[in-house]
Structure 1
Amino acid sequence: MPYEHPSPAGSPDTVLRLAELGFDAPGALLARYNLTLQRVDDGAPIPGSFWGDEEAGIIGTTVYARADTPLHSLLHEACHLIVMPPERRLDVHTNATDSIEEEDATCYLQIVLAEALPGVGRDRLMADMDAWGYTFRLGSTRAWFDNDAAEARAFLASRQLL
């Protein structure tokens, strides 16, 4: 498996959070995929969050996030919903997949979608993923994306998501 999701413990302060970016652009991006971004009040628990704390959550076709939610977390959870067949989305609550193929495709797509957000882009998102603690067998997000993600690209292409 080329990727393991990080533990949110000890999250760095350097990653881009929704408070800095705002909710409008990510909400519009999610809407292109028939998903809804639901803002959660500061300090309130995030519904459907697998990792807890400030990590985004998913229930059905809704992605939940607070102002302190890292953008990479919001994109990751949204991409879980995007890569799965639409008929499975309504049944999702908290845990999106146990499929390595879907997990890898999710990581790849979150990097691609970062390009659609003003002032973000793939370089920033990959740096944030590394800072947060995502681990890939080639040592960095960029090395994986550039050199070890052919299966993820093929998965996404087969679903017409690239």
Structure 2
Amino acid sequence: MLTLGGIAFDDAAALLRSYGLALQRVADDAPIPGSYWGDCEAGIIGTTVYARDDTPVHSLLHEACHLIVLPPERREWVHTDATDSVAEEDAVCVLQALLGDALPGVGRDRVLADMDAWGYTFRLGSARDYVERDADAAWAWLRAHGLVDGQGRLVPPPA
């Protein structure tokens, strides 16, 4: 499982910053603020994503995507659990794979494999099959919200 300690922190922080988010490194022996799952899983509070060096990159991206899909005015109210919307959760699962391609040394393939290793479950049996063959509604949601274009490529965040 690829962790934050296995990539350049500054690259991850810059990616999140481009979406108006902050990445806060948490000390190795400290609990992660705003972590829904606990242990080493990333946390979110407001516009900040919290992670330790042992936090899986897919977890960091997943929690960041929960904030990215929200309108900026809703982000400030988030603490630990961003949504109970199935449509948003599905969109987040696709978006986190796309953001993997935007992180040097990560890539979509690694994110999808780590999602499977972590235990995400999808109807077709794998994260890749979900994203490529079963996520039509999630892709439509991302297009409708201006996060991907008609070819399924990330739309750059507003400057």
- TM-score, normalised to structure 2's length? 0.92
Q: Which has the higher contact order (CA 8 A, sep 6+)?
A: 1
State the partner residue of 1:137.
Answer: 123
SS at match of 2:59: helix
Distance 1:21 1:140 in 2: 24
- TM-score, normalised to structure 1's length? 0.90
* Unmatched 5+ stretches in structure 2: 149-159
State the partner residue of 2:22.
Answer: 36
Q: Percent identity?
A: 68
Q: Deviation string for 1:10-67 (max 9, x for gaps)?
A: xxxxx10011113111100000100000000011000000000000000000000000
- What does residue range 43-122 of structure 1 map to in structure 2 within 5 Å? 43-122=29-108
- What does residue range 2-21 of structure 1 map to in structure 2 within 5 Å? 15-21=1-7
Distance 1:36 1:97 in 2: 19
Moved more, 83-92 or 63-72: 83-92
Give how far 1:71 is off.
0.1
Give how far 1:85 is off.
1.6
State the partner residue of 2:153.
Answer: none
